[in-house]
């Protein structure tokens, strides 16, 4: 028999193609997963999927495997026989290579019609070396565009593109290539996302040595290996939490259901809510293939710790589900018939296990947040210690109550904890904090109210402090105008550098390099009378060193003073670098009574500022400080403009509400 004599036929009702292909497999992942399953059942060791770089005329998807392939007769009796059940028709639950058979319904071969109009199949038999190439066109099969809408009753000839008879030499090239042509996809598949989604449909990673799936040349990835995980069960069970009768093997929990069936499971919780529907929830697998897409065992609302479900991804291996005489898995292998008696033991187990883990997750998250809070809020420990014992206990209980709100990020929790401490110290919100301390659960509306009220109180508390700063600057300005810069005033500025600029709030006195700074100052400033006899202030913040120098009252800074100041800072930078200290950046500020204004002087000052050396006079320094603190006050005011207390601080009348 040659190509001209080779004939194949298909007999069916055309509507079947729509039901079993077009309607059920409209995503590329779902459709191609069925074709990969066929490759598994054909004892392939490798499947290569090639996705198109763009859609349009001529775009194709290829699925190539090195499985057993088919003879011409097998193409007719197996592939083109709708509903062919490999398990019953071949009399085994195992493939010739000993694998558990994935296929059962005999319809996955039509999955490609969900995303393509033409399936071209090229197959070489390992048994005989026969090569067969044929094409299926969905329009022809369904009678699209003809008066007879569906093929029915009579057999339809399938287009055979090539047939080569048995050949010993071709046996080595065994396998099957499927080309999906005339694609109906709306967007080009993303290879990375496709790989991740495909990994979630198959539990083949533990068999990676004998079966691999490549997408555009790269293997499908396990999401658990590439994404951060906060809790991993059963491995993260504490001894007193372990379910009775469970054992752990290779990270999986192994348990027996009440019907005696053994299952394996692994649930993980991520630090942030999961945004991918293919990952959120628990997937059930049977014989390495998806049987139930991610779900929550049909749990309803009103459960303790229910927010945990948004962070959960799990897998259960339940081989018995696909071993029942009655098929419990839906046609498209997306869901299990949970009404069936055989499925109820698994459903009951899943509900119990999820409820238990949600409670554990809630307690762990609360403890983790409190622990993280204790680490991050070390600067607040002194403030807590200043509270009376009973007050400290109340505030700490309130913080733990807030920590249990899983929707708060770590940064949001830190901000809110800071606001609670500040409010308590200021004598505000004490009733509210008392209620927080006594609350085990907070609903979202209560949380919103707390956030808003604490935001107002925190802004008001900060605004009061800023108002004090502005008043102090005003008093300092008056002293400067009267030339009353006695040592006491200088020392006060040295102890409170934030008074001059908000950006200096994080700076504190640095005594570790004061000797070196004084030594450099003596060499660079030449002990001129215009300079103070000592270094006024050395501040540090992190790896930054700030030197603040005051010239004597009544002295006008000129070119020579600016030159000495520049040489002073540059020399200090070299000295710090030579000592290999913690400091990487040295900046300086020189403050004089007045600055000369000759030509070129302003350009020199501008250039110095760009290099971290600021020279200014007292009026300029204080005016800039007032402006910065006023801008800060305006920001705080705008957080609660309707609050009467804020309006009073700002000396602005509170607007009456409109009728």
d(CA 38, CA 16): 19
SS3 of residue 118 by DSSP: strand
210 and 313 in a single domain? The answer is no
Q: Is residue 626 part of a domain?
A: yes
**Domain assignment of residue 263, yes or no:** yes
Of 320, 351, 382, the one marking the end of a domain is 351
Residue 583 forms part of a structural domain: yes
* 611 domain-assigned: yes
CATH number of the domain where residue 126 is located: 3.30.565.10
Q: What pTM, to 2 d.p., does this model score?
A: 0.47
Asked whether residue 486 falls in the same domain as residue 630, the answer is yes
371 and 322 within one domain: no
51 and 195 co-located in one domain: yes
Verify that 387 and 471 share a domain, yes or no. Answer: no
Nearest-angstrom CA–CA distance, 432 and 426: 14
| Rounded Cα–Cα distance for residues 218 and 194 (Å) | 11
- DSSP single-letter state for residue 96: T
DSSP 555: P
The confidence score (pLDDT) of residue 657 equals 44
Angle 521-524-527 (CA atoms, 0-180°, nearest 5)? 70
SS (H, E, C) 248-277: EECCEEEEECCCCCEEEEEEEECCCCCCCC
Q: Which residues contact 382 (CB under 8 A, 6 or more apart)?
A: none
Q: Do residues 54 and 182 both lie within one domain?
A: yes
Tell me the backbone φ, ψ of residue 156, rounded to 5 degrees.
-115, 130
My answer on whether 618 and 594 are in the same domain is yes
* Residue at 514 is within a domain: yes
Per-residue pLDDT at 40: 86
Burial class (CB in 10 A: 0-12, 13-18, 19+), 500: buried
Instruction: State the pLDDT at residue 489.
Output: 57
How far apart are alpha carbons 592 and 18 in whole angstroms?
Answer: 87
Q: What is the model's pLDDT at position 149?
A: 44
1 within domain boundaries: no
Domains contained in the chain, number: 4
User: Do 188 and 296 reside in the same domain of the chain?
Assistant: no
Extended strands (E) in 170-229: 175-183, 212-215, 218-219
Nearest residue to 635 (alpha-carbon basis) of 471, 466, 501: 466
What single-letter DSSP state applies at residue 150? S
Domain containing 134 equals 9-220
Distance CA 114, CA 482 (A): 88
Kindly state whether residue 652 falls inside one of the protein's structural domains: no
Query: Mean pLDDT for each consecutive 10-residue tract of the chain (659 residues)?
Result: 71 53 67 87 92 92 95 89 62 73 65 89 96 90 58 71 94 96 91 82 56 89 58 92 93 94 92 76 83 86 72 90 81 77 94 92 78 62 76 76 64 72 66 60 51 59 72 71 60 68 74 78 65 67 84 80 87 84 86 82 88 86 82 78 75 51
Shared domain for 332 and 416, answered yes or no, is no
Contact criterion met (CB below 8 Å) for 508 and 540: yes
User: Could you tell me the end-to-end alpha-carbon distance of the chain, in angstroms, rounded to an integer?
Assistant: 96
Residues 447 and 402 in one domain: yes
- My answer on whether 124 and 136 are in the same domain is yes
Is 3 part of any domain?
A: no
pLDDT score of 178? 96
Give the end of a domain, one of 434, 465, 496.
465
- Name the domain boundary from 183, 203, 220: 220
Q: In 3D, which of 568, 472, 465 has the Cα closest to residue 523?
A: 568
Nearest to 172 by CA among 211, 213, 132, 131: 131
- Domain shared by 41 and 175, yes or no: yes
């Amino acid at each position: 028999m040659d190509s001209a004599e080779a004939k194949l036929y298909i007999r069916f009702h055309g509507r079947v193609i729509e039901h079993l292909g077009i309607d059920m497999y409209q995503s590329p992942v779902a459709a191609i997963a069925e074709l990969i399953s066929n490759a598994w059942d054909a004892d392939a060791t490798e499947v290569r999927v090639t996705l198109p770089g763009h859609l349009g005329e001529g775009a194709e998807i290829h699925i190539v495997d090195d499985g057993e392939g088919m003879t011409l007769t097998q193409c007719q009796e197996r592939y083109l026989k709708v509903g062919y059940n490999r398990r019953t028709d071949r009399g085994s639950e195992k493939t010739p290579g000993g694998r558990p058979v994935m296929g059962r319904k005999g319809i996955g071969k039509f999955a490609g019609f969900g995303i393509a109009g033409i399936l071209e199949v090229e197959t070489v038999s390992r048994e005989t070396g026969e090569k067969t190439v044929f094409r299926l066109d969905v329009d022809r099969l369904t009678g699209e565009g003809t008066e007879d809408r569906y093929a029915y009753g009579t057999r339809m000839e399938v287009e055979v593109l090539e047939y080569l008879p048995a050949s010993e030499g071709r046996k080595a090239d065994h396998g099957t290539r499927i080309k999906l042509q005339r694609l109906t996809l709306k967007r080009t598949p993303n290879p990375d996302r496709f790989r991740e989604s495909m990994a979630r449909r198959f539990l083949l990673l533990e068999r990676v040595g004998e079966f691999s799936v490549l997408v555009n040349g790269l293997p499908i990835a396990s999401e658990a290996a590439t994404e951060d995980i906060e809790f991993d069960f059963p491995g993260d069970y504490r001894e007193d939490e372990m379910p009775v009768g469970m054992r752990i093997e290779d990270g999986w929990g192994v348990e027996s259901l009440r019907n005696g069936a053994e299952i394996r499971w692994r649930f993980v919780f991520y630090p942030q809510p999961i945004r991918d529907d293919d990952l959120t929830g628990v997937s059930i697998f049977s014989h390495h293939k998806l049987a139930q897409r991610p779900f929550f065992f049909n749990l309803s609302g009103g459960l303790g710790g229910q927010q945990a479900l948004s962070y959960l991804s799990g897998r259960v291996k339940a081989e018995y589900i696909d071993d029942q005489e009655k098929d419990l898995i839906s046609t498209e292998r997306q869901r299990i018939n949970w009404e069936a008696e055989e499925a109820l033991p698994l459903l009951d187990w899943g509900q119990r296990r999820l409820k238990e883990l949600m409670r554990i997750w809630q307690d762990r998250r609360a403890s983790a947040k409190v622990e993280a809070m204790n680490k991050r809020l070390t600067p607040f420990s002194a403030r807590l210690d200043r509270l009376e014992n009973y007050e400290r206990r109340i505030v700490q209980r309130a913080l733990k109550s807030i920590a249990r709100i899983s929707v708060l990020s770590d940064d949001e929790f830190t901000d809110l904890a800071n606001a609670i401490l500040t409010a308590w110290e200021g004598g505000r919100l004490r009733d509210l904090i008392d209620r927080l301390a006594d609350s085990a659960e907070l609903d979202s509306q209560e949380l919103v109210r707390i956030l808003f009220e604490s935001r107002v109180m925190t802004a008001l508390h900060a605004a009061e402090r800023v108002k004090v700063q502005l008043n102090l600057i005003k008093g300092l300005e008056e002293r400067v105008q009267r030339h009353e810069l006695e040592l006491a005033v200088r020392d006060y500025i040295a102890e409170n550098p934030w008074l001059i600029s908000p950006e200096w709030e994080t700076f504190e006195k640095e005594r570790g390099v004061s000797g070196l700074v004084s030594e450099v100052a003596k060499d660079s400033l030449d002990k001129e009378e215009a300079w103070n006899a000592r270094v006024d202030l050395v501040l540090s913040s992190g790896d930054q060193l700030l030197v603040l120098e005051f010239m004597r009252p009544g002295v006008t800074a000129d070119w020579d003073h600016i030159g000495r100041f520049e040489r002073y800072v540059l020399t200090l930078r070299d000295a710090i670098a030579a000592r290999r200290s913690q400091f990487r950046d040295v900046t300086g500020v020189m403050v004089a009574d007045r600055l000369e204004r000759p030509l070129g002087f302003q350009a020199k000052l501008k250039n110095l500022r760009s290099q971290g050396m600021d020279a200014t006079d007292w009026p300029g320094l204080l005016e800039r400080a007032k402006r910065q603190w006023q801008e800060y006050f305006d920001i705080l005011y705008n957080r609660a403009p309707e609050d009467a207390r804020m309006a009073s601080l700002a000396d602005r009348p509170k607007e009456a509400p409109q009728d």
